[in-house]
Structure 1
Amino acid sequence: MKKKFSGVVVPMITPVHADLTIDVPAAEKLVHYLTSNGAAPFILGTTGESASIGRAEKKKLVEATVKAAAGRSIVYAGISGNAVTDSIEDAHHYQDLGADVFVATMTSYYPADADQMLRYFTLLADKVPAPLIIYNIPATTHLSIPLDVVEQLSTHPNIVGFKDSERSVERLERSVSLWKDRSDFAFLTGWAAQSLRALQLGADGIIPSTGNLAPKLYDTLSRSVAEGNGQVAENAQLKADRISEIYQKDRTLSYSLPALKAMMSAYGLCQACMLPPMFQLAADEEKSIKNFTLSQFGDLEAINTIK
């Protein structure tokens, strides 16, 4: 069953200048790179530093993304925040600019129980003008959305999917079993290291941050699973893991994202600039990461290819 919200969705980094404004040409270039390699862009997510971007700059990014996608793919736009009225207002602006579907986490300041989560997402889904995907990421919100809550929300006519970045094999397996046979509700994993396992179980899509560098590699992985070519899919996952390790190993999120941008800058996909409270890596470390990445994986064509 091929669902509308499925396949490879890349949580796109946000290209910025040193003055902290959106680098529009780089954003357009990156969107073209993703869409021409089988992936759809998900902007204003965790990898995209959404919590650090002002609302005016967010609109610029949405506009640039929609323009560059030019109807070739779905545009996923994050509307997460701590003020539900802002999230609703942003959703209306983003729809006017051409975004297709919204993605939202739970708020991340106050603690919330299951009933409050259920009521929050119901309110949001009632008010936003396009479909909503629920996003669970305890690493940043410090809240875990119970799967029973997601199951209740899955019957809402404006809630179309669930992205889960929580690292639990048991939870992953249960999620797939709950929704793989639902034509109206999609499950997408944000646990990139389990992309192969999730797809083999029957997940609808994957949302890997390393897809910013190697979208075609994940497209190959996804297609190979669908075609029953397990060895090719396994080789793609192994290579993706090797790429991911360069920027993720022994780093917290606030240091892995600058490392990811450093790797991408080696390929001319963006500048290595970051938005506070994250900052660009020290020059020596950035140079080391760039040189190592290029020596290990070659050019953009090579990094996207299984050899």
Structure 2
Amino acid sequence: MKKNNPYKGVIVPMISPLKDDLSVDKQAVKKIVSNFLKYDVAPFIAGTTGEASSLSFQQKKDLVEATVEVAKGKAVVYAGISSNCLPESIEMAKCFADMGADVVVANVPSYYPLTDAQAARFCEQLADASPAPLIFYNITATTGYSIPLDLIEKLSYHPNVVGLKDSERDEKRLDQALDLWRDREDFVHLIGWAAMSGYALKNGSDGIVPSTGNFTPKLYADLYANALNGNWQQVEQLQQLTNNLGALYQKGRTLGESLAALKVIMDEQGLCGTQVMPPIYCMENGVEADYRKEVKAFLSNLNL
């Protein structure tokens, strides 16, 4: 882990709190971000957990505005700029940087199957145009494309590119990435595979990006702090606990269904409502009622 690089630590891919009319609930944003700041956790707005592919540009601006108001100067603010339209990604990068986001994050387009040459050209054009530091985001589960590590290695020397957030569930790839970048002070590796947080930190990753941190930021802050201090037995215990909490809303559900379930947990904690953006929809009333009972019992046993 780098000592002097700001893009490290616990970075939570924040859910996007919405009102019933699908407008951004700015007060809920501020409540969630304030909860992050208690534990020195940074917000990542408009990522996969934030339903970014379904949000309008205006909704994203509202999220950035509310987040920056609370977090500016207290935590690094990461803002997603992913789009299938390159000019739109560039416009978002410029807009969010002007609004106070510290770093922007982008995955490759996800509609047309990409060749490696196409992906490289897209990433280079985005890096050339970005007014803010840029982190690339590899998430094969939604894009259908795995950004080759040799492409990232080439991009890592671009003056605007500061890191990779990798959510691909491939241990061999993870080890190869850490071998490439653990000693690079100017380029960070962030693990988006939450179940491997402890392993990645032990082997040279610079930060963790866990969606479960939306309602358990303290546990991940503790996991990271113990990793910094080399307390690996405690890290393993916290890893298992956070894995169980992740399963509470992820196990047996599609990605979209898990996000709706996550918002129910957030609602139970008084952090936001349950509204999600179509094509994701809220749990049906009877299903939600049963799920709330399960959540209450689970969290009560853990004193969360």
The question of a shared fold, defined as TM-score above 0.5 by the shorter chain, is answered with yes
Q: Distance in 2 between matches of 1:135 and 1:242?
A: 25
SS at match of 1:20: coil
Paired residue for 1:262? Answer: 264
Which residue of 123, 126, 138 corresponds with 1:124? Answer: 126
TM-score (norm. length: structure 1): 0.96
Q: Aligned partner of 2:229: which letter?
A: E
Unmatched tracts of structure 1, length 5 or more: none
1:18 deviation in Å?
1.2
Paired residue for 1:84? Answer: 86
Higher deviation after alignment, 287-296 or 15-24: 287-296
CA contact (8 A) 1:246 1:289 kept: no
CA contact (8 A) 1:263 1:289 kept: no
Paired residue for 1:94? Answer: 96
**% same residue:** 47
SS at match of 2:79: strand
Q: Aligned partner of 2:9: which letter?
A: G
Residues 39-95 of structure 1, C-alpha deviation per residue, up to 9 Å, x if partnerless?
100000000001111111111110000001131100000000011101111111111
1:119 deviation in Å?
1.2
1:234 deviation in Å?
1.1
TM-score (norm. length: structure 2): 0.97
Higher deviation after alignment, 281-290 or 145-154: 281-290
Q: Distance in 2 between matches of 1:282 and 1:147?
A: 42
1:287 deviation in Å?
2.2
Q: Distance in 2 between matches of 1:214 and 1:188?
A: 19
Residues 12-31 of structure 1, C-alpha deviation per residue, up to 9 Å, x if partnerless?
00000111110110011101
SS at match of 1:272: coil
Which residue of 185, 188, 207 corresponds with 1:183? Answer: 185
Paired residue for 1:238? Answer: 240
Q: Distance in 1 between matches of 2:152 and 2:291?
A: 39
Which residue of 28, 31, 49 corresponds with 1:29? Answer: 31
Q: Distance in 2 between matches of 1:87 and 1:247?
A: 30
Paired residue for 2:231? Answer: 229
Q: Distance in 1 between matches of 2:229 and 2:81?
A: 35
Q: Aligned partner of 1:127: which letter?
A: A
Q: Aligned partner of 2:152: which letter?
A: V
CA contact (8 A) 2:72 2:100 kept: no
Paired residue for 2:77? Answer: 75
Residues 140-169 of structure 1, C-alpha deviation per residue, up to 9 Å, x if partnerless?
111110111111110101000000010000
SS at match of 2:49: coil
Does 2:212 match 1:210? yes
CA contact (8 A) 1:9 1:42 kept: yes
1:252 deviation in Å?
0.9
Paired residue for 2:203? Answer: 201
SS at match of 2:223: helix
Unmatched tracts of structure 2, length 5 or more: none
| Runs of 4 or more consecutive aligned structure 1 residues displaced over 3 Å after TM superposition | none
Paired residue for 1:289? Answer: 291
Q: Distance in 1 between matches of 2:284 and 2:9?
A: 36
Paired residue for 1:110? Answer: 112
Paired residue for 2:44? Answer: 42
Q: Distance in 2 between matches of 1:37 and 1:230?
A: 20
SS at match of 1:8: strand
Residues 180-236 of structure 1, C-alpha deviation per residue, up to 9 Å, x if partnerless?
100000000100011011111110001000000101100111110110111211111
Does 2:136 match 1:134? yes
Q: Aligned partner of 2:15: which letter?
A: I
Paired residue for 1:273? Answer: 275
Q: Distance in 2 between matches of 1:156 and 1:289?
A: 47
CA contact (8 A) 2:110 2:144 kept: yes
Q: Distance in 2 between matches of 1:102 and 1:298?
A: 37
Q: Distance in 2 between matches of 1:187 and 1:302?
A: 33
1:286 deviation in Å?
1.8
Q: Distance in 2 between matches of 1:280 and 1:191?
A: 25
SS at match of 2:289: helix
CA contact (8 A) 1:92 1:129 kept: yes
Does 2:56 match 1:66? no
Q: Distance in 1 between matches of 2:123 and 2:72?
A: 30
Q: Distance in 2 between matches of 1:118 and 1:159?
A: 13
Paired residue for 1:219? Answer: 221
